[in-house]
Each structure stands twice: as structure tokens, then as C-alpha cells.
């Protein structure tokens, strides 16, 4: 029937509430990352792209410390909290960015 919501509709809406994406990015500074963080990502089951170590980004006109950009591509959408739990915290990542277009990010 139209206009009525069921309990399952409420659960469906709650599951999809918030920020969800298949693609997420973070930054990793070598001095903050645990040993084996790249192996962790390789064994995680996610498709992962890791930039070369670089310091070409600028903040307030000053170069940033050397860091890696990490793009994680999942097979299904996950929330920001789930990305933090599965990726950012275990690898010592800094920040989370929802990526709408992986090809655009890689340019």
C-alpha cells in the first residue's frame, strides 16, 4: 500500500543513512604508518592505489611533509565510519575523502 512504511523500510533507510561510497581516499605519512601497512592493504580484499611518496602538495604556500595518497575502491558502498574502521585506523591514515570519480582523482 502506498504511504505506509514497514519496519523493514525503516531498517533499510537507517542502513543507508549518512555518507556512503564505494571509493574513499586518505593520506598516509610514513612516520605515522605502522610497519606493514602496504601489506595490510594488499591483503584487505579492496582494490587499492597508492601514490608514490611525494611532497609536492602545498599548504599555505609551504610544501607538505612527504606522504602517500591512498585510494581504496570497494565492491559495495560503505560508510565513512566503516572506512575509518577498516582502512584509516589500521594504516595510520589521516582524514577521509569520499571519492565520486576515481578516474578524476587520478589525473
Contact between 55 and 64 (Cβ < 8 Å): yes
> What is the full per-residue pLDDT of the chain (107 aa) written as tens digits?
455 556 666 556 655 556 899 999 999 999 999 999 999 999 999 999 999 998 877 778 888 899 999 999 999 999 999 999 999 999 999 999 999 887 777 76
Specify the DSSP class assigned to residue 107: -
Separation of alpha carbons 95 and 7, rounded Å: 35
Which pTM was predicted? 0.78
Contact between 63 and 55 (Cβ < 8 Å): yes
Amino acid at each position: 500500500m502506498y504511504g505506509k512504511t514497514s519496519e523493514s523500510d525503516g531498517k533499510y533507510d537507517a542502513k543507508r543513512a549518512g555518507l556512503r561510497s564505494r571509493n574513499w581516499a586518505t593520506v598516509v605519512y610514513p612516520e605515522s604508518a605502522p610497519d606493514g601497512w602496504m601489506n595490510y592493504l594488499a591483503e584487505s580484499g579492496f582494490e587499492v592505489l597508492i601514490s608514490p611518496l611525494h611532497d609536492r602538495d602545498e599548504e599555505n604556500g609551504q610544501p607538505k611533509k612527504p606522504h602517500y595518497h591512498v585510494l581504496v575502491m570497494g565492491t559495495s558502498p560503505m560508510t565513512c565510519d566503516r572506512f575509518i574502521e577498516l582502512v584509516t585506523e589500521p594504516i595510520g591514515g589521516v582524514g577521509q575523502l569520499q571519492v565520486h570519480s576515481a578516474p578524476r582523482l587520478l589525473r
